[in-house]
Amino acid sequence: MENLSAKRFKRTFVDTFSGDDSGDLHPRQTPGVLYSKAVPTAVRKPELVAWSDELADSLDIAKPNPDDIQILGGNLITPTMYPYAACYAGHQFGNWAGQLGDGRAITLGEWENTHGNIWELQLKGAGPTAYSRRADGRAVLRSSVREYLMSEAMHYLGIPTTRALALVTTGDMVTRDMFYDGRAADEPGAIVMRTAPSFLRFGNFEMLAARNEIDNLTQLVNWTIERFYPHIEGDDKIFRWFGEVVERTATMIVEWLRVGFVHGVMNTDNMSVLGLTIDYGPYSFLDNYDPDFTPNTTDLPGKRYAFGKQANIAYWNLSRLANALVPLISDTSKLESQLRRYEDFYWSKYYAMMANKLGMDGINNEDDVRLLAEFENVLATVQPDMTMFYQLLIDLPSELNSQQDMLNFFKSSLYGDPEPTDITKLYSLMTSYQARLKVNTCTREDSLLRMRKANPRFILRNYLLHMAIEELQRGENHLFLKLQQALKDPYSKSHDEFFGMRPDWATQQAGCSMLSCSS
């Protein structure tokens, strides 16, 4: 185990690619480079709020000493670090946004553990960079708590994600207009140290293609394949690499749908070429099952990034990445064929996932496909609490004698009284489902095991985050610590004090029902 302050960091990325070494933090366009040096801006008093012991152990990082806390606050840079902000572009809400870049994220360097695994260590909220545009590069406690807890929650749910090692407060106040409505207020500042093998996004490649920097684009693609997809070799490696990005993206989306996660801002600059969930902003889990739900105020009224649209948006984003690779390809039909594989990847993974959620031995025929469609339609109509409904489904009696029995069984997952026609639809669905379970080729014990592994019992609901943030702002951390423990064991009944539906007060509460991109 080594301390952050004593470690000899690697700097492969900055040693490989062209960058702006000036350290100039003024917002500007940076053609011809893939990064700009960005030394964090000092804060008044960094204090450790949270540290992920499990992640630190896997990376062989020792518990932070006073110097390490200064690093986490951006106040200390060691000689082997090279802090930089990456340059990338993106499509935001379907529109080309041009150069974006790390506006409030600064990579300190690359950490190699004793097993030879390498992770980037990055500070989010450590001050301005060349890509901060009109912003200050800072983050508030509210958004930092959300990123820290949620990225770790997603990891323990088994979903590909970046992770968070540490959370510190800065001792400084940061001014934010939470809903962009002219009501700016001061909030406590904070910084998250987040980690990933790489934070490369679709937008890194889009930027180079848009600027016609073909040599840089070629170098970045080859380096990405060699470093993160070393099994891919040969003249067709770009096609095969893109195909694997397509598959990893499909896998990630299906996992989001499994647990009811809504990212909220699926711009191409927020899409990882490693298939990781990246950039936790106005996200949410579903409470009531509403495919048209988006947690992002900026996404209204079009709801481009609503829960039920995420699979299609991922395909659209992949098509933008494919376009960025066109300058490197003589036969673009091969790129198109890899892109078209997304649908096959998605549906095969989706059917397997839903079979596990429902305790079925597979989606084996058209009748099974129709049953899944019926589940989707009925749940979207009745809108039970998604997590509660699937937990109840695990204990569904083998026989339901009447619609009233069925309604009584699911009552604790319902946010209101369903219409009589909707009760009838749900009863019909349950009858069909019970009949399907009887022809499973697997045992009932195996069926239940699949369901328990696929359906989380604890999810990090927005209202819980809101309450924990309010407590932290008052100087208390009781709920924060309890959530930090609960998220590590989301499939058991160990933390059933949090097993319940969203309370009525949270429906309209700012920070619970809807959030902005600054959240």
Q: Exposed (0-12), middle (13-18) or buried (19+): which is 231, by Cβ within 10 Å?
A: exposed
**Which of 137, 158, 148, 109 has the alpha carbon at shortest distance from 2?**
109
Phi-psi region of 383 (alpha: psi -120 to 50; beta: other; left: phi over 0): left
Spatial separation of the C-alpha atoms in residues 354 and 247, rounded to whole Å = 18
DSSP secondary structure string for all residues of 120-175:
EEEEESB---TT-TTS-SBEEHHHHHHHHHHHHHHHHHT--B-EEEEEEEEEEEEE
Helix (DSSP H) and strand (DSSP E) numbers for the chain = 16, 12
Contact between 196 and 124 under an 8 Å Cβ cutoff? The reply is no
H/E element, 185: strand 185-196
The distance from CA 168 to its chain's CA centroid, rounded to whole angstroms, is 21
Nearest residue to 32 via CA among 241, 246, 237, 216: 216
**Looking at the annotation, which residues are catalytic?**
269
What residues does 161 pair with on adjacent strands?
Answer: 277
Radius of gyration of the chain (CA): 24
